[in-house]
Amino acid sequence: MLKTRVIPCLDVKDGRVVKGVNFVNLRDAGDPVECAIAYDAAGADELCFLDITASHEERGLLFDAVQRTAEACFMPLTVGGGVRTLDDIRNLLLAGADKASIMTAAVHDRDFVRRGAEKFGSQCIVVAIDAKNVAAGRWEIFTHGGRRPTGIDAVEYAKEVTALGAGEILLTSMDRDGAKSGFDIELTRTIADAVSIPVIASGGVGTLEHLVEGVRDGHASAVLAASIFHFGEFTIGGAKDYMAKAGLPMRLDRPAF
Amino acid sequence: MNVAIIDYGSGNLHSAAKAFERAARESGIDAAISVTADAEAVRRADRVVLPGVGAFADCRRGLLEIEGMAEALEDAVRKGGAPFLGICVGMQLLAERGLEHGDTPGLGWIGGAVVPIQPSDPKLKIPHMGWNNLDLNRPHPVLEGIATGRDGLNAYFVHSYHLLASNPDDVIATTEYGGPLTAMVGRDTIVGVQFHPEKSQSMGLRLISNFLRWRP
């Protein structure tokens, strides 16, 4: 049976993890490789890096971080943030990322999704959607960290990028992001039910029950969270045990070596 | 032992090579792992690994574009008996034909075709993406120490097509996703896995180490 994935997301700036991971004693909590190894050992099902480097010149530091992580951790790695061209995707995949997450570039040029999927395969194209509730049952895509409206309907957009070859959707509710009040379940379910590809729910997790709700009620295939894991509030293992007890299929493997 | 991971332009093989190096080191196997596009290196290899991501037809084209590679594979594996591991599309290429983007011939080492996943439950998402356990049809040395079945270990899958083998004896393991999907095939010195051992954490490293130790 396919398991529900739990994906911790790390913000990376100039090749360093911002805020770090505080649930284990790391020599260097800002080192992406050390953080990735800690999450690998904790049972994370995938790992996500969100690059928040401001200048394009510093991208080399990100590629170096991705490469060192891929050499040390044998788990799927998604990298997003500033992915604008086919070369950006190629460089991430060559550094060792398994999937590239694209957001603003796809909003401005829908065909970028199709070109990326044709060139590298749908399995490595994640489309990130930042959505805000603008009316009952209606959500709009926002860019620039939720500050800039686009007028694009999130559900229609999700269907469109699916048809263009996206392999997965990373859906963040900008109303809930950082609020710790739970995922926007109606948004998650509306989009998950509207598309044939997996949806990762993101934005708003404050409790372990929120993770369960995202999958059971929101129909997400995976849940992504950052702060609740980084600060040791909850462990990945604790989250997966909780979700398993709630009846969700989880990977609770003991190491085979 | 020389292990050749065939590089035919299908994705980054650096982390795959690192996984093989780690598995060899952890199980004390003296192995030289090389990522190569050289047919002669494949012909001389003690073990051959064919990875692959993307579409069947593209991968097939990339493989055939390397001069002498098809013959080298025949010589090393089918005539020479070198153990062979196909991964993801590298496993699918073992089939007689693939139906992704047209009808493309494969290596034909395993009878059958690569067909779209059609789960009985239409709510199930395509691709089949994430961690799933294996259901064993028959034991195989490459799965030694890897628990299968409902409470068994999980492997990382990401695919929209799977190999429907014409001979059920060639199917070593399946995985359940609205019906059984082919997860592992094998015959003689050949095995192929639909999942990604190089992305399957300790389960994958164990499988790679089993493959390196396997003496068919």
pLDDT in tens for each of the 216 residues of chain B? Answer: 999 999 988 667 888 899 999 999 999 999 999 999 999 999 999 999 999 888 898 899 999 999 999 999 999 999 999 999 999 999 999 999 999 888 999 999 999 999 999 999 989 999 999 999 999 999 999 999 999 999 999 999 999 999 999 999 999 999 999 999 999 999 999 999 999 999 999 999 999 999 999 999
Residue B157: per-residue pLDDT: 97
Report pLDDT for A54. Answer: 66
Interchain contact, A1 vs B133, CB within 8 Å: yes
**pLDDT above 90 for A57:** no
3-state SS, residue B61:
helix
Q: Do B47 and B85 contact (CB within 8 A), yes or no?
A: yes
**Binary contact (A40, B203; C-beta < 8 A):** no
- DSSP H helices, chain B, are 14-26, 39-44, 56-65, 69-73, 89-92, 201-213
Does the beta-carbon distance from A167 to B130 stay under 8 Å?
A: no
pLDDT of residue A227: 83
Whether A80 and chain B come into contact, CB under 8 Å, resolves to no
CB contact under 8 A, B53 and A124: yes
Total residue count of chain A as it appears in this document: 257
pLDDT, one tens digit per residue, over B9-54 is: 866 788 889 999 999 999 999 999 999 999 999 999 999 999 988 8
Q: What is the pLDDT of residue B84?
A: 98
Instruction: Kindly give, in sequence order, each residue whose CB lies less than 8 Å from that of residue B159, ignoring residues fewer than 6 positions away.
Output: A123, B88, B117, B127, B128, B194
- B-chain residues within 8 Å CB-CB of A197? 125-127
CB contact (8 A) between residue B15 and residue A45: no
Q: How confident is the model at residue A257 (pLDDT cuts 50, 70, 90)?
A: low
The C-alpha angle with vertex B121 and arms to B117 and B124, in degrees rounded to 5, equals 65
Contacts of B131 in chain A (CB under 8 A): 2-3, 5, 45, 251
Section A102-110 average pLDDT: 95
| pLDDT-wise least confident of A165-169, A178-182, A212-216 | A178-182
Between CA B27 and CA A39 the distance in angstroms is: 23
Count how many pairs of residues, chain A against chain B, have C-beta atoms within 8 Å: 107
Closest CA to A35 of A55, A21, A49: A21
Residues in chain B with CB shorter than 8 Å from the CB of A121 are 53-55
Which pLDDT score is estimated for A26?
79
- Model pLDDT for residues A29-42, shown as the tens digit of each residue: 889 999 999 999 89
Closest-CA distance of chain A to residue B134, Å = 9
pLDDT score at A254: 75
Catalytic annotation, residues of A: 11, 130
pLDDT at residue A256, as a whole number: 63
User: B12 and A253: CB-CB below 8 Å?
Assistant: no
Chain B residue set in contact with A, beta carbons under 8 Å: 11-12, 14-15, 18-19, 22, 26, 53-55, 125-133, 145-147, 150, 153-154, 156, 158-160, 176-177, 196, 198-206, 209
pLDDT beyond 80 at A19: no
Residue A195's alpha-carbon distances to A136, A141, B127, B143, in angstroms, are: 20, 16, 12, 36
CA distance A194 to chain B (A): 10
Quote the percentage of chain A above a pLDDT of 90.
Answer: 74
Closest partner residue to B125 among A94, A198, A257, by Cβ? A198
State whether residue A123 sits within 8 Å of chain B by CB.
Answer: yes
| Beta carbons of B164 and B112 less than 8 angstroms apart | yes
Residues of A in contact with B159 (CB under 8 A): 123
Q: Do B130 and A96 touch (CB under 8 A)?
A: no
Taking contacts as CB-CB distances below 8 angstroms, the residues of chain B near A123 are 53-54, 127, 129, 158-160
Structure tokens at A181: 């009040």
Beta bridge partners of A146: none
Whether residue A188 is predicted with pLDDT greater than 80 in this model: the reply is yes
**Chain A residues close to B15, C-beta within 8 Å:** 70-71, 74, 96
**A155 contacts A191 by C-beta, under 8 angstroms:** yes
A120 shares contact with chain B (CB less than 8 Å): yes
Find out whether the peptide bond into B168 is cis, omega within 30 degrees of 0.
no
Please report, rounded to a whole number, the percentage of residues in chain A having pLDDT higher than 70. 97
Name the token pair of B68: 């002498």
Kindly tell me the sign of the dihedral angle through the C-alpha atoms of B124, A136, A146, A144: positive
pLDDT in tens, A59-84: 888 999 999 999 999 999 999 999 99
Q: DSSP letter string over A15-78? A: TEESS---SS--S-TT-HHHHHHHHHHHT-S-EEEEE--S-GGGHHHHHHHHHHHHHH--S-EE
Q: How far is A80 from chain B (nearest CA, A)?
A: 18
d(CA A246, CA B86): 37
Asked whether B3 and B33 are in contact (CB, 8 A), the reply is yes
Average of per-residue pLDDT values in chain A: 92
| Token pair recorded at residue B126 | 């395509």
For residue range A220-236, what is the model confidence (pLDDT) as tens digits?
A: 999 999 888 888 889 99
Residue type present at position A15: G
Chain A partners within 8 Å of B205 (Cβ):
74, 256-257
What whole-number distance in Å separates Cα of residue A37 and Cα of residue A192?
31
Q: What is the pLDDT of residues A139-159, one digit of tens each?
A: 999 998 888 999 999 999 999
Query: How near does any CA of chain A get to the CA of B213, in Å?
Result: 15
Least Cα separation, residue A31 to chain B (angstroms) = 19
